[in-house]
Structure 1
Amino acid sequence: MRVKICGITSYEDAMTAIKAGADALGFVFYEQSPRYISPLEARNIIKKLPPFVEKVALFVNSDAQIINSYCQEAGATLAQIHFEAPQKLYEQLFVPYIKVIRAKEAKDIEQYSDEYRLVDAYCESYGGSGKRLNLEWFDGIDCSKIILAGGLDASNVSSLKKYGFYGVDVSSGVEISHGKKDVFKVREFIKNAKQQVLIDDK
């Protein structure tokens, strides 16, 4: 199971996640978020990172020009679109992207079922709320293209094994405070998520 650590605001936290085995890091380009980081600040972190780690830029209510520009400036490799965007916006993007479903009810999680997508619990604010989805919604669903977010931490990520999610995305569940990661929580979360792959391969 692949792991994304979101809400990165420092080089130290980025390297903690990478050394623990993170596959992707998330940078929040949404100014109302307590985890906001500017494209320039993100660039100063990203340019020092080792290769083969996905650098994901999170956007809320932005237009295609802003998304393209910020990703280029920061050196992000993937845009995470955290709002209901028209198809025209996706057609104008020059960067790879992933759509986010903010699920209110079970039927929502089957949107974009032919695409890799991130599924999070709906809340009025965007991202990092720590609100959990009802896992029963995923019973009988092909989860192989779903990245699950919302209310995850080291104590519950192991319970996701049976669903076969492509990956998990965590922010508040591995923090000391908004935007500041807890080294122990990050390591435990990634260890518990990755152990499932080893178990499944037996």
Structure 2
Amino acid sequence: MPAATRTRVKMCGITRLCDARAAVAAGADAIGFVFHAPSPRAVTPAQAAAIVAALPPFVTTVGLFVDADEARIRDTLARVPLALLQFHGDETDAECARYGRPWIKALRVHADLDVAAAMAAHPGASGILLDAWHPEQHGGTGLCFDWQKMPATAERPLILAGGLTPDNVADAIRQTRPYAVDVSGGIEQAKGLKDVHRIQAFMAGVASA
């Protein structure tokens, strides 16, 4: 798929309304909520619902899950109006598709991963997110993967994640030409707490690319 004329931005790990508002004000296209209890950025459905209720129109709300139980995901969807689902575990294509919502699949990239084959295993995904591999964490590691592993072309939108910051996002976009970038730790003052100045600097970096 050709690169978009404008690189989209998702800011993930939102835990506070003030951070969501700062992200939207800076121009983020989507905000993400982590529904994975081990994460320091995890939120409850009630917390996420309160934030979503205060958002303006045309902001995509994304729910991130990691090998979550089907009943738990359905309960979350009943309580939070999420527009897009993001699966970060070992979910199959069928498991991701059964909720009747658009979804993206995250792939944790390591030296031995066949990215094309992994993408092909999830034909129902609206997009593929490429993140850094970590033996114990499913995203939010602050690590970059080898950007040379990013396919030069793809039939579906590719989203670049993993270790992105205001300092490296412009270079990352120039090298990989993704449809979108996804940032979490790179715009924080502490885990789960965003920094408005880093949010703005990140968006400036995206624009400069």
Name the TM-score, length of structure 2 as normaliser: 0.87
State the match for 1:179 in structure 2. Answer: 192
Secondary structure, aligned partner of 1:37 = coil
Which of 131, 145, 151 aligns to 2:143? It is 131
CA distance in 2, matches of 1:53, 1:146: 19
The answer to whether structure 1 residue 72 and structure 2 residue 78 are counterparts is yes
State the match for 2:119 in structure 1. Answer: 112
State the match for 1:30 in structure 2. Answer: 36
Aligned residues: 195
Q: Which runs of 4+ in 1 moved over 6 A?
A: none
Partner deviation per Cα, 1:48-77 (whole Å, 9 max, x = no partner)? 100101101110111333223212311111
The answer to whether structure 1 residue 81 and structure 2 residue 87 are counterparts is yes
The answer to whether structure 1 residue 163 and structure 2 residue 142 are counterparts is no
Whether the 8 Å CA contact 1:121–1:132 is kept in 2: the answer is yes
Deviation at 1:107, TM superposition (A): 4.1
State the match for 2:3 in structure 1. Answer: none
State the match for 1:199 in structure 2. Answer: none
Secondary structure, aligned partner of 1:112 = helix
Whether the 8 Å CA contact 1:55–1:77 is kept in 2: the answer is yes
Gaps of 5+ in 1: 197-202
Deviation at 1:184, TM superposition (A): 0.7
Whether the 8 Å CA contact 2:87–2:96 is kept in 1: the answer is no
Deviating more after overlay: 72-81 vs 176-185 = 72-81
State the match for 1:194 in structure 2. Answer: 207
Provide closer, same or farther for how the CA distance between residues 93 and 137 of structure 1 changes in structure 2, counting only shifts above 3 A. same
Deviation at 1:13, TM superposition (A): 0.2
CA distance in 1, matches of 2:60, 2:97: 22
CA distance in 2, matches of 1:185, 1:106: 33
The answer to whether structure 1 residue 147 and structure 2 residue 159 are counterparts is yes
User: Which letter does structure 1 place at the counterpart of 2:85?
Assistant: A
User: Which letter does structure 1 place at the counterpart of 2:128?
Assistant: R
Whether the 8 Å CA contact 2:31–2:60 is kept in 1: the answer is yes
Partner deviation per Cα, 1:14-70 (whole Å, 9 max, x = no partner)? 000000000000100000100010011100010010010110111011133322321
The answer to whether structure 1 residue 95 and structure 2 residue 101 are counterparts is yes
Whether the 8 Å CA contact 2:13–2:32 is kept in 1: the answer is yes
User: Which letter does structure 2 place at the counterpart of 1:45?
Assistant: I
User: Which letter does structure 2 place at the counterpart of 1:179?
Assistant: G
User: Which letter does structure 1 place at the counterpart of 2:48?
Assistant: A
Secondary structure, aligned partner of 2:160 = strand
Deviating more after overlay: 58-67 vs 9-18 = 58-67
Gaps of 5+ in 2: 1-6
Q: Percent identity?
A: 36
CA distance in 1, matches of 2:114, 2:132: 10
Secondary structure, aligned partner of 2:119 = coil
Alignment of 1:24-63 (within 5 A): 24-63=30-69
CA distance in 1, matches of 2:59, 2:69: 26
Whether the 8 Å CA contact 1:67–1:79 is kept in 2: the answer is no
